[in-house]
Amino acid sequence: MRAQSGRRGVGRTGVALLAVVAVVGLVTVACVSTVPPPTGALGSATVEGMTFVPATRDARYVEESPYNDGGGLLLFRVDNPNPTTDRIEQVLVNGIPVESLPGLKWWRVWPPELGPAGSPTSSAVVTIKGITAPLRADEQVQVDVETENGLTVTRSAKLRGAVLKVGSIVASADRTELFVTVRNRSDVAYTVNHLAVNDDVRIPVTDPSVSTPDGDWTVEPDRVLLIRIQLDAPAPVMAPVALQVGAIGLGGQQEWVLGALRLIEPEFDLGTWHSELPDRSDEAKQATKQVPVDQIVGGASPKFAELWDRWRIQTNAQRFANPATVAAQQNNPGIRSWLLSDEPDLGDEPEDTSAAVAARVDQYRALDPTHPMWVNFAMQRKFNEYGQIPDITGHDHYVVCAPNAIFGSNWARNADMIEALDYTDVLKDNTEPLPMWIWPQLAASSAWNCQPSAWAVSTQFWLSVMGGADGINWFVWNSDYLGDPQYAAAMAQAPRDVGVVRQVRDVLTYGEVEESSSADSPYIKTRTIVGEERQVVVACNLRYTANGPPWYPTYWNYPVSGNVTVDVPDWVSTSTIRRVTPTGTEAVAATVAGQSVTLPVALDDECAVFTIGAPDTAPPAAPEGLTFATPDTLAWIEGRDDVGVAGYVVYRNGIEVASAQNAVYVPVDDLLSVWTVAAFDSAGNVGPQSAPAAP
């Protein structure tokens, strides 16, 4: 049983034999050596973990921009072996100063200063993004690094993509453990034989601090391996982590893969763009909390403090003009992230270039090192160029009646629903293990010509989850739309999908997407999310037609039924199989044959979500942050469970008086009483009561 996820947590599983103290973005191995990367003697700097992330895209989609990224991203770590601070002064690639490199888009050193040997900042990561040779697949590259103190080091490698990839890195709530997933993209099995978290090397099998769910360190073709790593000390908030995995294939080929990021709080986030909410009534804020929405995108206003203090709704804050205001937000629990740019890849202003966005991210990191930086994108052709700049990446590719980046959409062609999944797949391939917050389509008053149906809302939502989304931020759920008939279907569907997510939230937070399910109908799209103790299966209805002119089409979906067959990992029990509904779970007439499970599905407007695993006997944790949002309304932070939370019990003076589906309760009719709440899960387990409500 892991420490349950919570809003104060941070971390994730680490693997390999590379030490990176600060890093930006995803890393995929490019080094072809069959031995661990070398380390230098005292007095000589070292370059470690040279890695390459080739730019990928889906060639089926022709986007409006003629831009073509033929390169990739080169990343490596530089270690300072000396007792004095140092700074990287010069980087050469094939003898060319990096700032003069052909096709260069941006580059950075993070952190900018190398601390003394043995300090938390004694390593720095150099990241270089190019769109042409020499930073492209199959090129031989030599890197030379010079420091202010006169250290020099050279390293070379042939650039190529990896057969293994680090899919995700997430921490336990108490930050004492890392949970890592490794994906095998090849057609042969690999056995992990070396791990490292930064410069801390762990050897599988012999080291008890690293483990897999069943003790097997083999990752089969097209499957994922889940790894848990015990840390020697809790990881600080936003700690930079580089994880390297070494694995040997059946033919004896040793492979290395690196995943690097800064650790954000572990959570599958649920939010919306609703910058007007701080100025809306308490009734509007209560309605938003009832969805439930955990976070909003807010404008450059300090009013987000009230949203957190009273309603426990966080804000993804946009840019402030005054740097002192940004710096003052350090450790502010009301801020979830800084949304520093929205769709810069579509812009043509100087501030929209990837170099400018990277500089802005670095500026805000220096001003506020306690919160992650989030940037949202639109063009899959530019996912590799921009996607690894922030701490959290994302995209907004809308399908129904909406503008998107594909040439001719909404004036010459009707978009396909599967685009919601395809774009998320491309983003993940270019940026993992960075967390992805996806903006699926919900409702908008002026952004598109017609409003999506409940089917279109639910399908785009769950296709994003199938693609590996680590959070959903709708465009938009807006309290101003309540009661307006044109938005009624979309607004009503949002809480139904969230009601399902909340009950499997822990699996979505710590698990990894896998194509280990298949359907016997071409109209059913299915994937699974694999966790340590259970597997979540998602199936969506893609039987539809799009009629009418592209600028005002009508999407009609039709019922479909069939069977979904799931290949369940050996470590997941098949004893309990349930379908998750917005308000609970229900039995399923599944067929089980060993580790193969066949699920009957009948789909119409909503996607179907199932769980496979052992009986859930663990209760949720006590909810936190209980407070009086208004004199007659209680609000608190969403509860946490090892699977997910289904609802809450409300107590007055220790006696149960009501239940609530979401983290808000009204009316409270007695302020002098002691009010507490407890969370319960879909299996009926009730957790401990919270601390009493704060006045």
CA distance 331 to 408: 45
- The three-state secondary structure class of 192 is strand
Instruction: For 177, list phi and psi in degrees, rounded to 5.
Output: -135, 150
User: What percentage of the chain carries pLDDT values higher than 70?
Assistant: 92
Q: If you search the block for the tokens 């680490």, which residue do you land on?
A: 14
- Residue carrying the six token digits 């239940």: 659
The per-residue pLDDT for range 252-274, each reduced to its tens digit, is 999 888 888 999 999 999 999 99
Per-residue pLDDT, 24? 32
| Tokens, residue 581 | 């509904």
Query: 599-632 burial, b if ≥16 CB within 10 A, otherwise e?
Result: bebebebbbbbbbbbeebeebbbbbbbbbbbbee
Average pLDDT over residues 2-17: 31
Is the domain defined by 37-56+68-159 classed in CATH 3.40.50.150? no
Which CATH number applies to 274-503: 3.30.60.50, 3.30.9.10, 3.20.20.80, 3.20.20.60?
3.20.20.80
Average pLDDT over residues 649-665: 96
Whether 513 has a pLDDT exceeding 70, the answer reads yes
Residue 528 phi/psi, 5-degree rounding, is -125, 160
Band (10; pLDDT cuts 50, 70, 90): very low
pLDDT(20) > 80 = no
- The answer to whether the CB of 43 falls within 8 A of the CB of 81 is yes
Partners of residue 530 on adjacent β-strands: 512, 535
Q: What is the pLDDT, as a whole number, of residue 23? A: 31
Provide the pLDDT for residue 548. 86
pLDDT tens-digit map of 394-441 = 999 999 988 889 988 878 888 999 999 999 999 999 999 999 999 999
The reported pLDDT for the residue numbered 300 is 64
CB 47 within 8 A of CB 77: yes
1-29+162-266 in CATH: which number?
2.60.40
Give the pLDDT band of residue 667 (cuts 50, 70, 90).
confident
Is residue 212 pLDDT above 90, yes or no?
Answer: yes
Distance CA 433, CA 61 (A): 24
What pLDDT, on a 0 to 100 scale, did the predictor assign at position 40? 36
Instruction: Say yes or no: do domains 1-29+162-266 and 37-56+68-159 share a fold.
Output: yes
pLDDT tens column, 514-542: 999 999 999 999 999 999 999 999 999 99
* Contact of 55 with 70, CB cutoff 8 Å: yes
Distance CA 181, CA 226 (A): 5
Residue-wise pLDDT for 571-605, tens only, equals 999 999 999 999 999 999 999 999 999 999 999 99
The predicted structure's pLDDT at residue 512: 98
Residue 31 has pLDDT above 70, yes or no: no
Using one digit for the tens of pLDDT, what is the confidence trace for 361-401? 999 999 999 999 999 999 999 999 999 999 999 999 999 98
Q: Which of 15-19, 259-263, 499-503 has the lowest mean pLDDT?
A: 15-19
Q: Please report the pLDDT score of residue 35 as a whole number.
A: 34
Determine the pLDDT at residue 8: 27
Architecture per CATH, 504-615:
Sandwich (2.60)
Give mean pLDDT, residues 46-75: 87
Does residue 44 have a pLDDT over 80? no
**Does residue 694 have a pLDDT over 90?**
no
pLDDT band of 19, cuts 50, 70, 90: very low
The predicted structure's pLDDT at residue 553 = 87
The CB density around residue 513, as the number of other CB atoms within 10 Å, is 25
Closest CA to 151 of 294, 24, 278, 47: 47
Inform me whether the pLDDT recorded for 501 exceeds 90.
yes
Sheet holding 373-377, edge to edge: 392-395, 373-377, 335-342, 314-317, 295-298, 269-273, 471-474, 437-438
Radius of gyration, alpha carbons of the chain: 25
Q: At what angle do helices 454-466 and 419-431 cross, to 10 degrees?
A: 20
More confident residue, 61 or 448: 61
Mean pLDDT, residues 131-141 taken together: 96
The string of pLDDT tens digits covering residues 105-127 is: 999 888 788 888 877 677 788 88
The C-alpha atoms of residue 79 and residue 570 are separated, in whole angstroms, by 40
For the chain, the average pLDDT equals: 89
Instruction: Give the residue with greater pLDDT, 405 vs 213.
Output: 213
> Domain map of the chain by residue range?
1-29+162-266, 37-56+68-159, 274-503, 504-615, 627-680
Q: In 3D, which of 358, 540, 551, 560 has the Cα closest to residue 466?
A: 540
Single out the residue of 466, 390, 472, 396 nearest to residue 431, CA to CA.
Answer: 390
Contact 682, 617 (CB under 8 A): no
Asked whether residue 34 carries a pLDDT value surpassing 70, the answer given is no
Record the tokens describing residue 237, joined without a space.
């908030």
Q: Which residues contact 60 (CB under 8 A, 6 or more apart)?
A: 422
Percent of the chain at pLDDT > 90 equals: 75
> What's the pLDDT tens digit per position in 297-308?
987 666 788 899
Q: Which of 148-157, 549-558, 682-691 has the highest mean pLDDT?
A: 682-691
Q: Please give the pLDDT value at position 4.
A: 43
